[in-house]
Structure 1
Protein backbone atom coordinates (compact mmCIF):
# COMPACT_ATOMS: atom_id res chain seq x y z
CA UNK A 1 0.00 0.00 0.00
CA UNK A 2 1.50 3.39 -1.03
CA UNK A 3 1.06 5.43 2.16
CA UNK A 4 2.49 2.81 4.57
CA UNK A 5 5.36 2.18 2.15
CA UNK A 6 6.15 5.90 1.89
CA UNK A 7 6.03 6.27 5.68
CA UNK A 8 8.35 3.28 5.96
CA UNK A 9 10.86 5.00 3.67
CA UNK A 10 10.70 8.14 5.79
CA UNK A 11 11.13 6.12 8.97
CA UNK A 12 14.17 4.39 7.51
CA UNK A 13 15.63 7.78 6.58
CA UNK A 14 15.46 8.84 10.24
CA UNK A 15 17.04 5.58 11.37
CA UNK A 16 20.01 6.09 9.06
CA UNK A 17 20.16 9.89 9.51
CA UNK A 18 23.89 9.85 10.31
CA UNK A 19 24.50 8.42 6.86
CA UNK A 20 23.36 11.62 5.19
CA UNK A 21 23.61 10.44 1.59
CA UNK A 22 21.43 7.39 2.19
CA UNK A 23 18.94 9.36 4.30
CA UNK A 24 18.59 11.99 1.56
CA UNK A 25 18.13 9.23 -1.00
CA UNK A 26 15.30 7.61 1.01
CA UNK A 27 13.53 10.93 1.62
CA UNK A 28 13.80 11.83 -2.07
CA UNK A 29 12.38 8.43 -3.08
CA UNK A 30 9.51 8.83 -0.64
CA UNK A 31 8.49 12.25 -1.95
CA UNK A 32 8.93 11.29 -5.60
CA UNK A 33 6.78 8.21 -5.04
CA UNK A 34 4.12 10.29 -3.28
CA UNK A 35 4.19 12.83 -6.11
CA UNK A 36 3.90 10.17 -8.81
CA UNK A 37 1.12 8.13 -7.17
CA UNK A 38 -0.90 11.28 -6.44
CA UNK A 39 -0.68 12.56 -10.02
CA UNK A 40 -2.65 11.91 -13.18
CA UNK A 41 0.47 10.32 -14.65
CA UNK A 42 0.07 7.45 -12.20
CA UNK A 43 -3.58 7.00 -13.22
CA UNK A 44 -2.60 6.96 -16.89
CA UNK A 45 0.25 4.54 -16.25
CA UNK A 46 -1.28 2.14 -13.73
CA UNK A 47 -5.07 2.43 -13.77
CA UNK A 48 -6.13 2.98 -17.36
CA UNK A 49 -4.32 -0.08 -18.79
CA UNK A 50 -6.40 -2.23 -16.43
CA UNK A 51 -9.67 -0.45 -17.11
CA UNK A 52 -9.28 -0.46 -20.89
CA UNK A 53 -9.13 -4.26 -21.22
CA UNK A 54 -12.92 -4.76 -21.11
CA UNK A 55 -15.41 -2.14 -22.38
CA UNK A 56 -18.75 -1.25 -20.82
CA UNK A 57 -21.18 -4.06 -21.61
CA UNK A 58 -24.73 -3.19 -22.72
CA UNK A 59 -25.33 -6.29 -24.85
CA UNK A 60 -28.70 -7.97 -24.44
CA UNK A 61 -28.46 -11.28 -22.57
CA UNK A 62 -30.05 -14.24 -24.32
CA UNK A 63 -30.73 -17.74 -23.01
CA UNK A 64 -30.07 -18.73 -19.38
CA UNK A 65 -29.39 -15.51 -17.53
CA UNK A 66 -27.16 -15.23 -14.48
CA UNK A 67 -25.47 -12.07 -13.27
CA UNK A 68 -22.62 -12.51 -10.80
CA UNK A 69 -21.68 -9.45 -8.73
CA UNK A 70 -18.40 -9.84 -6.89
CA UNK A 71 -18.29 -8.75 -3.27
CA UNK A 72 -16.60 -5.73 -1.78
CA UNK A 73 -17.34 -4.27 1.68
CA UNK A 74 -20.03 -2.85 3.90
CA UNK A 75 -20.45 -1.36 7.38
CA UNK A 76 -22.94 -2.03 10.17
CA UNK A 77 -24.39 1.45 10.53
CA UNK A 78 -27.07 1.74 13.20
CA UNK A 79 -30.43 2.53 11.61
CA UNK A 80 -29.06 2.61 8.05
CA UNK A 81 -30.63 0.80 5.14
CA UNK A 82 -28.72 -1.93 3.34
CA UNK A 83 -28.04 0.41 0.42
CA UNK A 84 -26.60 3.02 2.78
CA UNK A 85 -24.42 0.39 4.47
CA UNK A 86 -22.63 -0.63 1.26
CA UNK A 87 -19.23 0.79 0.44
CA UNK A 88 -18.93 3.01 -2.62
CA UNK A 89 -17.36 0.15 -4.58
CA UNK A 90 -20.02 -2.36 -3.52
CA UNK A 91 -22.84 0.02 -4.45
CA UNK A 92 -21.30 0.68 -7.87
CA UNK A 93 -21.03 -3.05 -8.51
CA UNK A 94 -24.57 -3.78 -7.33
CA UNK A 95 -26.22 -1.04 -9.38
CA UNK A 96 -24.40 -2.29 -12.48
CA UNK A 97 -25.50 -5.83 -11.64
CA UNK A 98 -29.12 -4.70 -11.50
CA UNK A 99 -28.68 -2.93 -14.85
CA UNK A 100 -27.34 -6.16 -16.30
CA UNK A 101 -30.38 -8.03 -14.92
CA UNK A 102 -32.61 -5.80 -17.01
CA UNK A 103 -30.70 -6.75 -20.16
CA UNK A 104 -32.03 -10.34 -19.98
CA UNK A 105 -35.22 -12.22 -19.33
CA UNK A 106 -35.91 -13.45 -15.79
CA UNK A 107 -32.27 -13.20 -14.81
CA UNK A 108 -30.96 -14.37 -11.47
CA UNK A 109 -28.63 -12.20 -9.43
CA UNK A 110 -25.71 -13.85 -7.64
CA UNK A 111 -24.08 -11.94 -4.77
CA UNK A 112 -21.21 -13.06 -2.59
CA UNK A 113 -18.94 -12.21 0.28
CA UNK A 114 -18.46 -13.30 3.86
CA UNK A 115 -18.97 -11.05 6.85
CA UNK A 116 -15.44 -11.01 8.19
CA UNK A 117 -14.76 -10.58 11.88
CA UNK A 118 -16.12 -7.06 12.34
CA UNK A 119 -19.72 -7.48 11.19
CA UNK A 120 -22.56 -9.80 12.16
CA UNK A 121 -24.05 -10.03 8.67
CA UNK A 122 -22.38 -11.49 5.60
CA UNK A 123 -21.61 -9.20 2.71
CA UNK A 124 -23.69 -11.46 0.44
CA UNK A 125 -26.73 -10.94 2.66
CA UNK A 126 -26.18 -7.19 2.81
CA UNK A 127 -25.89 -7.05 -0.99
CA UNK A 128 -29.04 -9.14 -1.32
CA UNK A 129 -30.93 -6.85 1.06
CA UNK A 130 -29.74 -3.81 -0.87
CA UNK A 131 -30.83 -5.37 -4.16
CA UNK A 132 -34.29 -6.01 -2.70
CA UNK A 133 -34.46 -2.38 -1.58
CA UNK A 134 -33.67 -1.40 -5.17
CA UNK A 135 -36.53 -3.50 -6.53
CA UNK A 136 -35.07 -6.96 -7.20
CA UNK A 137 -37.35 -9.90 -6.34
CA UNK A 138 -35.76 -11.81 -3.44
CA UNK A 139 -36.56 -15.11 -5.19
CA UNK A 140 -34.21 -14.11 -8.02
CA UNK A 141 -31.18 -13.74 -5.73
CA UNK A 142 -28.57 -16.42 -5.01
CA UNK A 143 -26.11 -15.84 -2.16
CA UNK A 144 -22.58 -17.14 -1.54
CA UNK A 145 -22.09 -15.95 2.07
CA UNK A 146 -18.92 -17.96 2.71
CA UNK A 147 -16.80 -16.75 -0.22
CA UNK A 148 -13.84 -14.76 1.13
CA UNK A 149 -12.15 -13.73 -2.11
CA UNK A 150 -12.41 -13.98 -5.90
CA UNK A 151 -10.88 -17.46 -5.95
CA UNK A 152 -13.55 -18.79 -3.60
CA UNK A 153 -16.27 -16.91 -5.47
CA UNK A 154 -15.21 -18.76 -8.63
CA UNK A 155 -15.25 -22.09 -6.79
CA UNK A 156 -18.76 -21.57 -5.41
CA UNK A 157 -20.02 -20.43 -8.80
CA UNK A 158 -18.45 -23.44 -10.51
CA UNK A 159 -20.32 -25.83 -8.21
CA UNK A 160 -23.58 -23.92 -8.78
CA UNK A 161 -23.59 -23.16 -12.52
CA UNK A 162 -21.11 -25.59 -13.99
CA UNK A 163 -20.62 -24.73 -17.69
CA UNK A 164 -23.46 -22.20 -17.98
CA UNK A 165 -22.33 -18.76 -19.19
CA UNK A 166 -22.99 -15.71 -17.04
CA UNK A 167 -22.43 -11.97 -16.88
CA UNK A 168 -19.63 -11.02 -14.47
CA UNK A 169 -19.78 -7.64 -12.72
CA UNK A 170 -16.87 -6.15 -10.81
CA UNK A 171 -14.72 -3.02 -10.73
CA UNK A 172 -12.96 -2.25 -14.00
CA UNK A 173 -9.52 -2.41 -12.37
CA UNK A 174 -10.33 -5.82 -10.90
CA UNK A 175 -11.93 -7.27 -14.03
CA UNK A 176 -8.76 -8.57 -15.82
CA UNK A 177 -7.68 -10.57 -12.76
CA UNK A 178 -11.23 -11.78 -12.09
CA UNK A 179 -11.65 -12.99 -15.68
CA UNK A 180 -8.35 -14.88 -15.43
CA UNK A 181 -9.48 -16.60 -12.24
CA UNK A 182 -12.90 -17.58 -13.58
CA UNK A 183 -11.43 -18.80 -16.89
CA UNK A 184 -8.97 -20.98 -14.95
CA UNK A 185 -11.98 -22.64 -13.31
CA UNK A 186 -13.49 -23.42 -16.73
CA UNK A 187 -16.25 -20.84 -16.30
CA UNK A 188 -17.68 -18.84 -19.19
CA UNK A 189 -17.84 -15.24 -18.01
CA UNK A 190 -18.98 -12.25 -20.06
CA UNK A 191 -17.32 -9.17 -18.55
CA UNK A 192 -19.43 -6.21 -17.41
CA UNK A 193 -17.00 -3.79 -15.74
CA UNK A 194 -18.09 -0.86 -13.60
CA UNK A 195 -16.69 1.51 -10.95
CA UNK A 196 -14.27 3.18 -13.37
CA UNK A 197 -11.81 5.38 -11.47
CA UNK A 198 -9.42 6.51 -14.21
CA UNK A 199 -11.79 8.89 -15.99
CA UNK A 200 -10.86 12.55 -15.57
CA UNK A 201 -7.59 14.01 -16.79
CA UNK A 202 -6.47 17.03 -14.78
CA UNK A 203 -2.90 17.12 -16.00
CA UNK A 204 -0.35 17.13 -13.22
CA UNK A 205 -2.71 18.17 -10.44
CA UNK A 206 -2.10 16.11 -7.31
CA UNK A 207 -5.11 14.62 -5.52
CA UNK A 208 -6.06 12.03 -2.93
CA UNK A 209 -8.37 10.44 -5.51
CA UNK A 210 -5.37 9.70 -7.71
CA UNK A 211 -3.57 8.19 -4.73
CA UNK A 212 -6.53 5.90 -3.96
CA UNK A 213 -6.80 4.90 -7.62
CA UNK A 214 -3.09 4.11 -7.72
CA UNK A 215 -3.40 2.01 -4.58
CA UNK A 216 -6.21 -0.06 -6.12
CA UNK A 217 -4.19 -0.57 -9.29
CA UNK A 218 -1.10 -1.66 -7.35
CA UNK A 219 -3.29 -4.11 -5.43
CA UNK A 220 -4.37 -5.65 -8.74
CA UNK A 221 -0.85 -5.92 -10.14
CA UNK A 222 0.32 -7.63 -6.96
CA UNK A 223 -2.69 -9.95 -7.17
CA UNK A 224 -1.85 -10.88 -10.76
CA UNK A 225 1.76 -11.54 -9.73
CA UNK A 226 0.53 -13.79 -6.92
CA UNK A 227 -1.66 -15.74 -9.36
CA UNK A 228 1.31 -16.21 -11.67
CA UNK A 229 3.49 -17.45 -8.81
CA UNK A 230 0.77 -19.92 -7.77
CA UNK A 231 0.67 -21.40 -11.26
CA UNK A 232 4.41 -22.06 -11.00
CA UNK A 233 4.14 -23.87 -7.69
Structure 2
Protein backbone atom coordinates (compact mmCIF):
# COMPACT_ATOMS: atom_id res chain seq x y z
CA UNK A 1 0.00 0.00 0.00
CA UNK A 2 2.80 2.42 0.93
CA UNK A 3 4.63 1.61 -2.31
CA UNK A 4 1.55 2.34 -4.44
CA UNK A 5 0.84 5.55 -2.53
CA UNK A 6 4.44 6.72 -2.94
CA UNK A 7 4.22 6.21 -6.70
CA UNK A 8 0.96 8.14 -7.00
CA UNK A 9 2.19 11.02 -4.86
CA UNK A 10 5.51 10.90 -6.69
CA UNK A 11 3.71 11.50 -9.97
CA UNK A 12 2.29 14.80 -8.74
CA UNK A 13 5.54 15.75 -6.99
CA UNK A 14 7.19 16.16 -10.40
CA UNK A 15 6.86 19.83 -11.42
CA UNK A 16 6.08 18.99 -15.06
CA UNK A 17 3.22 16.68 -14.10
CA UNK A 18 1.89 19.11 -11.51
CA UNK A 19 1.89 22.08 -13.89
CA UNK A 20 0.25 20.10 -16.69
CA UNK A 21 -2.41 18.94 -14.21
CA UNK A 22 -3.05 22.56 -13.19
CA UNK A 23 -3.35 23.50 -16.86
CA UNK A 24 -5.85 20.72 -17.51
CA UNK A 25 -7.92 21.82 -14.53
CA UNK A 26 -7.82 25.34 -15.95
CA UNK A 27 -9.05 24.13 -19.33
CA UNK A 28 -11.90 22.24 -17.68
CA UNK A 29 -12.79 25.36 -15.68
CA UNK A 30 -13.01 27.37 -18.90
CA UNK A 31 -15.33 24.83 -20.46
CA UNK A 32 -17.44 24.92 -17.31
CA UNK A 33 -17.81 28.68 -17.62
CA UNK A 34 -15.42 29.68 -14.84
CA UNK A 35 -13.47 31.98 -17.12
CA UNK A 36 -11.39 33.90 -14.59
CA UNK A 37 -10.36 30.80 -12.65
CA UNK A 38 -9.64 28.79 -15.77
CA UNK A 39 -7.65 31.58 -17.37
CA UNK A 40 -5.59 32.14 -14.24
CA UNK A 41 -4.74 28.44 -13.93
CA UNK A 42 -3.73 28.22 -17.59
CA UNK A 43 -1.47 31.26 -17.30
CA UNK A 44 0.15 29.87 -14.14
CA UNK A 45 0.70 26.53 -15.86
CA UNK A 46 2.26 27.92 -19.04
CA UNK A 47 4.47 30.52 -17.36
CA UNK A 48 5.74 28.08 -14.73
CA UNK A 49 6.53 25.43 -17.35
CA UNK A 50 8.47 28.03 -19.35
CA UNK A 51 10.48 29.26 -16.36
CA UNK A 52 11.26 25.78 -15.08
CA UNK A 53 12.12 24.50 -18.55
CA UNK A 54 14.38 27.31 -19.72
CA UNK A 55 16.03 28.54 -16.52
CA UNK A 56 19.06 26.83 -14.90
CA UNK A 57 17.01 25.92 -11.81
CA UNK A 58 17.33 22.19 -12.47
CA UNK A 59 21.13 22.45 -12.59
CA UNK A 60 21.27 24.48 -9.38
CA UNK A 61 19.18 21.91 -7.50
CA UNK A 62 21.27 19.00 -8.79
CA UNK A 63 24.69 20.55 -8.23
CA UNK A 64 24.27 20.59 -4.46
CA UNK A 65 23.63 16.86 -4.48
CA UNK A 66 26.17 15.86 -7.15
CA UNK A 67 29.07 17.53 -5.34
CA UNK A 68 28.19 16.12 -1.92
CA UNK A 69 30.30 12.96 -2.23
CA UNK A 70 33.62 13.04 -4.14
CA UNK A 71 34.74 10.07 -6.19
CA UNK A 72 37.64 8.05 -4.67
CA UNK A 73 41.08 9.04 -5.93
CA UNK A 74 42.55 7.07 -8.81
CA UNK A 75 45.51 6.04 -6.63
CA UNK A 76 43.27 4.76 -3.82
CA UNK A 77 44.55 1.17 -3.54
CA UNK A 78 42.80 0.18 -0.35
CA UNK A 79 41.28 -3.31 -0.64
CA UNK A 80 37.61 -3.59 -1.56
CA UNK A 81 35.50 -6.50 -0.34
CA UNK A 82 32.59 -5.76 -2.63
CA UNK A 83 30.83 -3.33 -4.92
CA UNK A 84 27.10 -2.61 -4.67
CA UNK A 85 25.52 -1.07 -7.74
CA UNK A 86 21.97 0.22 -7.51
CA UNK A 87 19.30 -0.30 -10.14
CA UNK A 88 17.77 2.44 -12.22
CA UNK A 89 19.79 1.88 -15.40
CA UNK A 90 17.34 -0.28 -17.32
CA UNK A 91 14.02 0.16 -19.05
CA UNK A 92 12.64 -3.09 -17.66
CA UNK A 93 9.35 -2.81 -19.58
CA UNK A 94 11.10 -2.66 -22.96
CA UNK A 95 13.70 -5.22 -21.85
CA UNK A 96 10.99 -7.68 -20.85
CA UNK A 97 9.03 -7.20 -24.07
CA UNK A 98 11.99 -7.21 -26.47
CA UNK A 99 14.34 -9.58 -24.69
CA UNK A 100 17.07 -6.96 -24.98
CA UNK A 101 19.31 -5.10 -22.53
CA UNK A 102 17.49 -1.77 -22.72
CA UNK A 103 19.54 0.92 -20.99
CA UNK A 104 18.35 4.38 -20.01
CA UNK A 105 20.17 7.66 -19.30
CA UNK A 106 21.62 6.26 -16.04
CA UNK A 107 23.53 3.56 -17.93
CA UNK A 108 26.88 4.62 -16.46
CA UNK A 109 25.88 2.95 -13.19
CA UNK A 110 26.27 -0.35 -15.04
CA UNK A 111 28.99 0.34 -17.57
CA UNK A 112 31.46 1.47 -14.88
CA UNK A 113 31.26 -2.00 -13.33
CA UNK A 114 33.34 -3.44 -16.18
CA UNK A 115 36.20 -1.15 -15.13
CA UNK A 116 35.75 -1.64 -11.38
CA UNK A 117 35.60 -5.42 -11.71
CA UNK A 118 39.08 -5.33 -13.28
CA UNK A 119 40.46 -2.77 -10.84
CA UNK A 120 39.31 -4.87 -7.86
CA UNK A 121 39.52 -8.48 -9.10
CA UNK A 122 38.76 -9.97 -5.67
CA UNK A 123 35.68 -7.85 -4.99
CA UNK A 124 32.18 -9.27 -5.02
CA UNK A 125 29.74 -7.55 -7.38
CA UNK A 126 26.26 -7.00 -5.95
CA UNK A 127 23.45 -5.66 -8.10
CA UNK A 128 20.36 -4.42 -6.28
CA UNK A 129 17.20 -3.79 -8.27
CA UNK A 130 13.82 -5.44 -8.71
CA UNK A 131 10.69 -4.15 -10.42
CA UNK A 132 9.85 -0.61 -9.39
CA UNK A 133 6.94 0.17 -11.71
CA UNK A 134 3.36 0.33 -10.51
CA UNK A 135 1.24 -0.38 -13.59
CA UNK A 136 3.50 -2.23 -16.02
CA UNK A 137 5.24 -5.55 -15.65
CA UNK A 138 8.50 -6.56 -17.21
CA UNK A 139 11.82 -8.13 -16.38
CA UNK A 140 13.43 -7.36 -13.05
CA UNK A 141 16.50 -5.18 -13.26
CA UNK A 142 18.57 -7.95 -11.69
CA UNK A 143 17.67 -10.32 -14.54
CA UNK A 144 18.83 -7.82 -17.14
CA UNK A 145 21.95 -6.91 -15.14
CA UNK A 146 22.99 -10.57 -15.01
CA UNK A 147 23.10 -10.66 -18.80
CA UNK A 148 25.10 -7.45 -18.95
CA UNK A 149 27.65 -8.60 -16.36
CA UNK A 150 28.07 -11.82 -18.32
CA UNK A 151 28.89 -9.77 -21.42
CA UNK A 152 31.58 -7.98 -19.36
CA UNK A 153 33.26 -11.32 -18.72
CA UNK A 154 32.73 -11.18 -14.94
CA UNK A 155 32.86 -14.64 -13.39
CA UNK A 156 29.38 -15.74 -12.23
CA UNK A 157 30.69 -16.73 -8.79
CA UNK A 158 31.58 -13.08 -8.12
CA UNK A 159 28.05 -11.84 -8.83
CA UNK A 160 25.21 -11.57 -6.31
CA UNK A 161 21.79 -10.44 -7.52
CA UNK A 162 19.20 -8.81 -5.28
CA UNK A 163 15.91 -8.76 -7.20
CA UNK A 164 13.24 -7.78 -4.64
CA UNK A 165 13.94 -4.10 -3.96
CA UNK A 166 11.59 -1.43 -5.32
CA UNK A 167 13.15 1.69 -3.80
CA UNK A 168 16.40 2.94 -2.28
CA UNK A 169 15.59 1.89 1.28
CA UNK A 170 14.89 -1.66 0.12
CA UNK A 171 18.15 -1.58 -1.88
CA UNK A 172 20.00 -0.99 1.38
CA UNK A 173 18.11 -3.40 3.62
CA UNK A 174 17.91 -6.30 1.18
CA UNK A 175 21.55 -5.92 0.09
CA UNK A 176 22.69 -5.92 3.73
CA UNK A 177 20.69 -9.05 4.48
CA UNK A 178 21.97 -10.77 1.36
CA UNK A 179 25.72 -10.16 1.70
CA UNK A 180 26.04 -9.77 5.50
CA UNK A 181 29.07 -7.44 5.30
CA UNK A 182 31.78 -8.15 7.85
CA UNK A 183 33.19 -5.65 10.31
CA UNK A 184 35.98 -3.57 8.77
CA UNK A 185 35.18 -4.60 5.20
CA UNK A 186 35.23 -1.86 2.59
CA UNK A 187 32.29 -1.78 0.21
CA UNK A 188 31.84 0.65 -2.67
CA UNK A 189 28.39 1.97 -3.54
CA UNK A 190 27.81 2.87 -7.19
CA UNK A 191 24.88 5.06 -8.18
CA UNK A 192 24.18 8.39 -9.86
CA UNK A 193 25.95 11.32 -8.20
CA UNK A 194 22.71 13.18 -7.50
CA UNK A 195 21.25 10.04 -5.89
CA UNK A 196 24.30 9.34 -3.73
CA UNK A 197 23.35 11.36 -0.59
CA UNK A 198 20.03 9.55 -0.18
CA UNK A 199 21.59 6.20 -1.02
CA UNK A 200 24.47 6.53 1.45
CA UNK A 201 22.01 7.71 4.11
CA UNK A 202 19.87 4.61 3.58
CA UNK A 203 22.82 2.24 3.76
CA UNK A 204 24.12 3.90 6.93
CA UNK A 205 20.68 3.71 8.55
CA UNK A 206 20.51 0.03 7.59
CA UNK A 207 23.86 -0.66 9.28
CA UNK A 208 25.76 -1.19 6.04
CA UNK A 209 28.70 1.29 5.84
CA UNK A 210 29.74 2.06 2.25
CA UNK A 211 32.19 4.28 0.40
CA UNK A 212 30.59 6.41 -2.31
CA UNK A 213 31.58 5.91 -5.95
CA UNK A 214 29.38 8.43 -7.77
CA UNK A 215 28.82 8.26 -11.53
CA UNK A 216 26.28 9.56 -14.06
CA UNK A 217 26.87 13.28 -13.48
CA UNK A 218 24.26 15.51 -15.14
CA UNK A 219 26.07 18.83 -14.68
CA UNK A 220 29.57 20.06 -15.56
CA UNK A 221 30.00 22.04 -12.36
CA UNK A 222 29.13 25.45 -10.99
CA UNK A 223 29.37 27.07 -14.41
CA UNK A 224 26.02 25.39 -15.15
CA UNK A 225 24.31 27.48 -12.48
CA UNK A 226 23.87 30.22 -15.07
CA UNK A 227 23.39 28.06 -18.17
CA UNK A 228 19.84 28.13 -19.58
CA UNK A 229 18.48 25.14 -21.42
CA UNK A 230 18.04 24.91 -25.17
CA UNK A 231 14.54 23.44 -24.93
CA UNK A 232 11.75 23.42 -22.38
CA UNK A 233 11.65 19.63 -22.45
CA UNK A 234 15.33 19.33 -21.57
CA UNK A 235 15.03 21.76 -18.67
CA UNK A 236 11.86 20.19 -17.31
CA UNK A 237 13.51 16.79 -17.32
CA UNK A 238 16.38 18.18 -15.23
CA UNK A 239 14.01 19.91 -12.80
CA UNK A 240 11.91 16.76 -12.43
CA UNK A 241 14.97 14.68 -11.55
CA UNK A 242 16.19 17.24 -9.03
CA UNK A 243 12.84 17.83 -7.32
CA UNK A 244 12.12 14.10 -7.10
CA UNK A 245 15.44 13.58 -5.35
CA UNK A 246 14.95 16.48 -2.93
CA UNK A 247 11.43 15.28 -2.09
CA UNK A 248 12.86 11.80 -1.56
CA UNK A 249 15.44 13.18 0.85
CA UNK A 250 12.77 14.93 2.93
CA UNK A 251 10.43 11.93 2.98
CA UNK A 252 13.20 9.46 3.81
CA UNK A 253 14.44 11.64 6.64
CA UNK A 254 10.97 12.05 8.12
CA UNK A 255 10.36 8.30 7.98
CA UNK A 256 13.78 7.50 9.45
CA UNK A 257 15.06 5.76 6.34
CA UNK A 258 18.19 7.96 6.30
CA UNK A 259 20.49 9.21 9.04
CA UNK A 260 20.43 12.89 7.97
CA UNK A 261 18.44 15.22 5.73
CA UNK A 262 21.29 15.54 3.25
CA UNK A 263 23.90 12.93 4.23
CA UNK A 264 27.55 13.91 3.78
CA UNK A 265 30.93 12.14 3.99
CA UNK A 266 31.90 11.18 7.51
TM-score after normalising by structure 2? 0.76
- Superposed CA RMSD in Å reads 2.4
Name the CA distance, whole Å, in 1 between partners of 2:118 and 2:251: 36
Residues 1:208 and 2:233 aligned together:
yes
Q: Alpha-carbon deviation of 1:21? A: 4.2
Name the CA distance, whole Å, in 2 between partners of 1:20 and 1:78: 48
Tell me what 2:72 maps to: 57
1:143 to 146, 155, 161: 161
Residues 1:103 and 2:119 aligned together:
yes
1:124 to 123, 142, 152: 142
Tell me what 1:155 maps to: 173
Flag the 1:88–1:137 CA change in 2: closer, same or farther, 3 A: farther
1:5 to 4, 11, 18: 18
Q: Does the 8 Å contact 2:169/2:202 carry over to 1?
A: yes
Q: Deviations for 1:109-161, whole angstroms, at most 9, x for unmatched residues?
A: 11121246512x32112112101112222221111111222111111222223
Residues 1:69 and 2:85 aligned together:
yes
Structure 1 unmatched ranges of 5 or more: none
Report the secondary structure of 1:151's partner residue. Answer: helix
Q: Which moved more, 1:197-206 or 1:69-78?
A: 197-206
Report the secondary structure of 1:196's partner residue. Answer: coil
Q: Does the 8 Å contact 2:79/2:186 carry over to 1?
A: no
Residues 1:112 and 2:128 aligned together:
yes
Number of equivalent positions = 227
Residues 1:228 and 2:253 aligned together:
yes
Q: Does the 8 Å contact 1:61/1:105 carry over to 2?
A: no
Name the CA distance, whole Å, in 1 between partners of 2:123 and 2:55: 39
Tell me what 2:5 maps to: none
Residues 1:133 and 2:146 aligned together:
no
Report the secondary structure of 2:98's partner residue. Answer: coil
Tell me what 1:86 maps to: 103
Tell me what 1:171 maps to: 192
Structure 2 unmatched ranges of 5 or more: 1-13, 258-266
